[in-house]
Structure 1
Amino acid sequence: MRKILVVGAGQSGLQLALGLQSKGYDVTLMSNRTADEIRSGRVMSTQCMFDTALRHERDLQINFWENQAPRIEGLGVSVAAPGSHEGPDGTQRAIDWVGTLDGYAQSVDQRVKMAGWMETFAQRGGQLVIHGAAVSDLDFFASRYDLTLVSAGKGELVSMFGRDASRSPYDTPQRALAVAYVHGMGPRPEHPGLEAVRCNLVPGVGELFVMPTLTTSGRADILFWEGIPGGPLDVFQSVKDPEEHLATTLDLMKTFLPWEYARCTKVELTDANGTLAGRYAPTVRNPIGQLPSGGRVLGVADVVVANDPITGQGSNSASKCAASYLASIVDHGDKPFDEEWMQAAFDRYWNTAQHVTKFTNAMLAPPPEHVLNIIGAAGQIQTIADRFANGFDDPSDFENFFYDPDKANAYLASFSG
């Protein structure tokens, strides 16, 4: 039986460990926290997962919360009109539409999911080691396993994987991030029965994303600001008190997005650990890490492809990476997991991940005219709105109509008359 070490217990690490376990591999999972510490800790992400990523969980029969989590049927885009924050009635939207998803999306608080998956892994006989691994630890452990996979996307271990400058156009954070989990948010009055992700764009300022989720205390909503660094939304770094974080979130909504603020008159934090703030530079790294002894380890998910969360792809990419690596491992049989195989496994994943990176980096930049035309036309033509919404599940489709002005114009022209 082949022995595999997975370091890191997030979406990718746990999904991969459970998948390998189901295929009969001898799997050791290393986490820096216990399941109880994860469950009672701070929120870790926003994790809206679209149909393809959810199907990877169903394939492994680890979709334990699918019947409890809200079913997100749509994805809406609203763009604040110039000066809209000055008006009192909350109606100043230059663009406002919602696209229908072909397959529903869901968000499950990672505190719920990761804790539950970790307990399942242990119950199924997996070796669980609670230890915050350093490079020196991996140097000791790796020789005892046929393959070591690093899925811990923060800290010292990431330093083993060098930045790929050719695939990383940004070397500084492009957004300041601030998340708050709340109870008591009202529905959008124009679609009161529709669960949807709402993408609110404030040109030159940043974005607010609102999404329904399942958290430790039941159904909730996530308020997620992405602020252009140095701008009016970049105010959360010094905020340490959770209630002050929420108050700041709501004040900014009242100023820039009054139609979303109007839904928040009765909100309260889900718990004292329901806020998160930070920033990081989106980075693609070389997939193979070298240990001091010369051994090799393979980076997983956001260890090697870390995109800004503006397109909500983090957990989706983690799930897709875990599924791709699982297939590459199983396909390889009993052959050694050498450097050539590691590069090939990453390249197989990059076939999907490159489209996510291109889409995300494009959305971080000021939109060119043809993109504005597409987003505007989606408010008039439902087919365009639906296609844009479903691109979040399969970003490769944006190659066909979104990036190139000629393709965009031809696509829009196909609807004329």
Structure 2
Amino acid sequence: MRKILVVGAGQSGLQLALGLQSHGYEVTLMSNRTADEIRSGRVMSTQCMFDTALQHERDLQLNFWESQAPKIEGLGVSVAAPGSHDPGPTQRAIDWVGRLDGYAQSVDQRVKMAGWMETFAQRGGQLVIHGAAVGDLDYFSRTYDLVLVAAGKGELVSMFARDPERSPYAEPQRALAVAYVHGLGPRPEHPEYDAVRCNLVPGVGELFIMPTLTTSGRADILFWEGIPGGPLDVFNGVKDPAEHLSLTLELMEKFTPWEYARATQVELTDAGGTLAGRYAPTVRNPIGRLPSGGLVLGVADVVVANDPITGQGSNSASKCAAAYLASILEREDKPFDEEWMRQTFDRYWATASHVTKWTNAMLAPPPEHILNLIGAAGQLPPVANRFANAFNDPADFEDFFYEPEKTEAYLASVAGA
């Protein structure tokens, strides 16, 4: 029986550990927190998982919350009308909702990671509650056939060198601020089904709103992404959750009044329901070398960390876990050597590269043909639907998004249909 160590108990680390466990591998999982500490702690992320990523969970029968979590059937885009931001835009230049072919869902990672961790232990997995340092991995690497590093923050990430060719940004491109709330009113347009809302405020940033399942049931996530140094970049140093929420709402009233109108009665889900921070989007070398010469393989955010502007983090983590699981199973009893590690990462990069390209494009000011595309989606439902479904399969953007000629040809074909 092959012995595998997974360091980090997030979406990818846990999905991979549980998947390997179900195939008879002897798996040890290292987490710096217990399930109870995760469940009662601060929110860790925003997450909206689309159909392909959800299917990876279903395939492993880990979709424990599928019947409880809101079914997200649409994805809407609004663009604030240009004009004075003092007092700010009062209307939208663009507003539409595309329908998803397969529904998306969001489960608070405190709920999911705590539940999955308990399941892993109940199924006989070895759970080690300990923050791992490089020295620990040096020791462990001698007793395991493979060490996977899925802890996206802290000292371990420094083992994986930045890949400058795949990392165009050296600095964070957005300041992030998240609030989980109860009491958000329904969307005035199509309130009969749940949708994610993407509100773009040119030159300022973005507000995303997504229905979720949290520790206290159904809720909504209010998520600001502010251009650094701009009017949304005001959460740094705000420690009080109530102050964080009131700042969130103040900015909604100023920059997205159509969303603020349904947020006048909201309250935080819990004292841990806020999060703020920033990080530079980075692709890293997937192989880490230990002082003793042993090798470890980086997983998900450790090796490909994109800005959350395209909502791909948990989707990419799920897809990475699925790709790595397939590569490990195919390897059977052969050694997990450096060449295998590189091929395993390349298999994941085949999908991740599309996410990175699209995300980095969305962080830049949109060129004219993209504004035309987003505008046309308001008149042409097939365009809105295709744009929405590309969140599930970002590779599709290659055919209609990046090059003005392809965008124009696509819009002409839909308009003429």
Q: TM-score range by the shorter chain?
A: over 0.9
Partner of 1:10: 10
**Once the 2 structures are TM-superposed, how far is the Cα of residue 231 of structure 1 from its aligned partner?**
0.1
Shift of 1:85: 5.2
Amino acid at match of 1:404: E
Q: Partner residue of 2:344? A: 345
* 1:171 counterpart residue number: 170
Q: Distance in 2 between matches of 1:180 and 1:15?
A: 26
How much does 1:333 deviate? 0.7
> Is 2:90–2:256's contact at 8 Å kept on the other side of the alignment?
no
Q: How does 1:344-363 map to 2 (within 5 A)?
A: 344-363=343-362
Q: Tell me how far apart the structure 1 counterparts of residues 31 and 64 of structure 2 sit (CA, whole Å).
A: 21
Structure 1 match to 2:58? 58
User: Residue 25 of structure 1 corresponds to which residue in structure 2?
Assistant: 25
> Residues of 2 paired with 1:275 and 1:29: CA distance?
27
In structure 1, runs of 5+ residues without a counterpart are none
**Superposition pairs of residues 382-393 of structure 1, within 5 angstroms:** 382-393=381-392
What CA distance in whole angstroms lies between the structure 2 residues aligned with 1:300 and 1:72?
A: 27
Asked if structure 1 preserves the Cα contact closer than 8 Å seen for 2:180 and 2:269, the reply is: yes
Pairwise CA RMSD = 1.0
Q: In the alignment, is the contact (CA less than 8 A) between 1:84 and 1:93 conserved in 2?
A: no
Aligned equivalents of 1:415, 1:340: Cα separation in 2 = 45
Q: When the two structures are aligned, how many residues end up with a matched partner?
A: 416
- State whether structure 2 residue 83 is matched by structure 1 residue 68: no
1:375 partner letter:
I
CA distance in 1 between counterparts of 2:415 and 2:114 reads 52
Alignment correspondent of 1:188? 187
- What TM-score does the superposition give when structure 2 sets the normalisation length? 0.99
Q: Tell me the CA shift for residue 91 of structure 1.
A: 5.5
Question: Which residue of structure 1 aligns with residue 121 of structure 2?
Answer: 122
After superposition, give the CA deviation of every residue in 1:230-287 in whole Å (9 maximum; x if it has no partner). Answer: 0000000121100000000000000000000000111000000000000000000000
- What secondary structure, in the 3-state scheme, does the structure 2 residue paired with 1:107 have? coil
Measured in 2, the distance between the counterparts of 1:137 and 1:94 equals 55
Aligned-residue offset at 1:193: 1.5
1:328 maps onto 2:327 in alignment: yes
Partner residue, 1:311: 310
Give me the identity figure in percent: 83
State the alpha-carbon separation in 1 of the partners of residues 17 and 415 from structure 2: 51
Given that residues 84 and 92 in structure 1 are in contact (C-alpha distance below 8 angstroms), is that contact kept between their aligned partners in structure 2?
no
Confirm whether residue 45 of structure 1 aligns to residue 68 of structure 2: no
Matched letter for residue 168 of structure 2:
P
- The equivalent of 2:220 in structure 1 is 221
Q: Helix, strand or coil for the counterpart of 1:396?
A: helix
Question: Helix, strand or coil for the counterpart of 1:78?
Answer: strand
Distance 1:154 1:354 in 2: 21
Conserved? CA contact 1:85–1:258, under 8 Å: no
Stretches of structure 2 lacking an aligned partner (at least 5 in a row)? none
Alignment check: 8 A CA contact 2:382 2:414 kept = no
CA deviation after TM superposition for structure 1 residue 416, in Å:
3.3
Q: How far off is 1:191 after superposition?
A: 1.6
C-alpha distance in 1 between matches for 2:273 and 2:150 = 24
Question: What is residue 234 of structure 1 aligned with on the other side?
Answer: 233
Matched residue SS, 1:331 = helix
Cα deviation for residue 415 of structure 1 reads 2.7
| Correspondence 1:34 to 2:34 | yes
Q: Secondary structure at the match of 2:105?
A: strand
2:73 and 2:415 mapped to 1: Cα distance? 28
* TM-score normalized by the length of structure 1: 0.99
- Distance in 1 (CA, whole Å) between partners of 2:291 and 2:86 is 59
